[in-house]
Chains A and B, each alone.
Chain A
Amino acid sequence: MSATIVDVSQPITDHEVNAIRRDFPALLESVNGEPLAYLDSAATAQRPHAVLDAERHFLEHHNAAVHRGAHTLAGLATEAYEDARSTVAAFVGAGPDEVVWTANATDALNLVAYGFANASHGRGGAAARRFALAPGDEIVVTEAEHHANLVPWQELAAVTGATLRFIPVNDSGVYSVGDAAAVLSSRTRIVALAHVSNVTGFVAPVAEIVALAHARGALVVLDACQSAPHRALDLPGLGVDFAAFSGHKMLGPTGIGVLYGRAELLDALPPFRTGGSMISTVTMTDADYLPAPQRFEAGTPPVSQAIALAEAVRYLQRIGLDRIERREELLAERMLVGLAGIPGIRTIGPGLGVPRAGLVSFDVDGVHGHDVGQYLDARGIAVRVGHHCAQPLHRRLGLISSTRASAYMYTTTDEVDRLLGSAHEVRRYFGAA
Chain B
Amino acid sequence: MSDSLANLYQQVILDHARQRIGYGQLDHADAERFERNPTCGDEVMVRLALEQGTDRIASLAWQGAGCSISTASASVLAQLAEGLTLTELQSKIDAFRAMLRERGDVEPDEDVLGDAVAFQGVSKYVMRVKCAMLPWVAAEACRGSLT
Docked-complex contact A371 and B42, CB < 8 angstroms: no
Residues of A within 8 A of B40 (CB): 369-370, 385-387, 401
B window 1-56: CB within 8 A of A:
1-2, 4-5, 8-9, 14, 17-18, 39-43
Residues of B within 8 A of A431 (CB): 14, 17-18
Docked-complex contact B5 and A374, CB < 8 angstroms: yes
A358 to B38, CA, bound (A): 27
Docked-complex contact B42 and A379, CB < 8 angstroms: no
Q: A33-B1, A375-B5 are in contact. Are A368 and B67 (CB under 8 A)?
A: yes
Task: Decide if B85 is an interface residue (CB 8 Å cutoff).
Answer: no
Closest to A431 in B: B18
Docked-complex contact B41 and A368, CB < 8 angstroms: no
Docked-complex contact B1 and A387, CB < 8 angstroms: no
A window 336-394: CB within 8 A of B:
367-371, 374-375, 378-380, 385-387, 391, 394
Within 8 Å by CB of B68, from A368, A380, A391, A394, lies A368
Closest to B64 in A: A400
Task: Decide if A34 is an interface residue (CB 8 Å cutoff).
Answer: yes
Docked-complex contact A400 and B17, CB < 8 angstroms: no
Within 8 Å by CB of B1, from A34, A369, A400, lies A34
Docked-complex contact B5 and A430, CB < 8 angstroms: no
Docked-complex contact B39 and A386, CB < 8 angstroms: yes
Task: Decide if A300 is an interface residue (CB 8 Å cutoff).
Answer: no
Task: Decide if A4 is an interface residue (CB 8 Å cutoff).
Answer: no
Docked-complex contact B18 and A401, CB < 8 angstroms: no
Residues of A within 8 A of B67 (CB): 368-371
Within 8 Å by CB of B66, from A368, A374, A391, A394, lies A368
- CB proximity of A160 to chain B, nearest CB, Å: 28
B1, B9, B131 pick with most chain A CB within 10 angstroms: B1
Task: Decide if B128 is an interface residue (CB 8 Å cutoff).
Answer: yes
Docked-complex contact A32 and B42, CB < 8 angstroms: no
Task: Decide if B146 is an interface residue (CB 8 Å cutoff).
Answer: no
- CB proximity of A361 to chain B, nearest CB, Å: 14
Residues of B within 8 A of A387 (CB): 40-41
B42, B67, B71 pick with most chain A CB within 10 angstroms: B67
A183 to B71, CA, bound (A): 41
Residues of B within 8 A of A375 (CB): 5
Query: What are 10 A-B residue pairs whose CB atoms fall within 8 Å in the complex?
Result: A369-B67, A370-B40, A370-B68, A371-B69, A374-B8, A375-B5, A380-B1, A400-B65, A430-B17, A431-B17
8 closest Cβ pairs, A-B complex: A370-B67, A368-B67, A378-B5, A378-B1, A400-B41, A32-B1, A371-B68, A386-B40
Q: Which residues of B contact A (CB under 8 A)?
A: 1-2, 4-5, 8-9, 14, 17-18, 39-43, 65-69, 71, 125, 128, 131
**Additional A-B contacts beyond A369-B40, A400-B43 (6; CB < 8 A):** A368-B65, A368-B66, A370-B68, A371-B67, A378-B4, A391-B41
